[in-house]
Amino acid sequence: MAYRFWCGECGYKSDWGSESQGERQQIEHYAARHPGTPPGGQVEVNRKDPEGGACLPVVLVAIVLLILLASCRH
């Protein structure tokens, strides 16, 4: 899944990425922009593509099937 962390103090948003990447970016943001304030805000989950690449296995299976069909031609 892809996550984005929003700052609870300003309009900062982390990049889309893993939960740990977003959390790290939020902590770094708070240390630089809001020293002494514990990180807060909200976490957004990518609702358009919550699986983050779920079509890749389908594409790989299709390619393998095409290779098998091509190799079985008489």
Q: Tens digits of per-residue pLDDT, 21-72?
A: 999 999 999 999 999 999 999 999 987 765 555 566 777 888 888 888 888 8
* Whole-angstrom distance, CA of residue 44 vs CA of residue 19: 10
Domain with 44 in it:
3-71
CA separation (Å) from 11 to 17, 53, 59?
Answer: 18, 28, 38
Q: Tell the residue number behind the tokens 């740990």, with chain if given.
A: 20
Number of domains in the chain: 1
Please give the pLDDT value at position 48.
76
Q: What does pTM read for this prediction?
A: 0.62
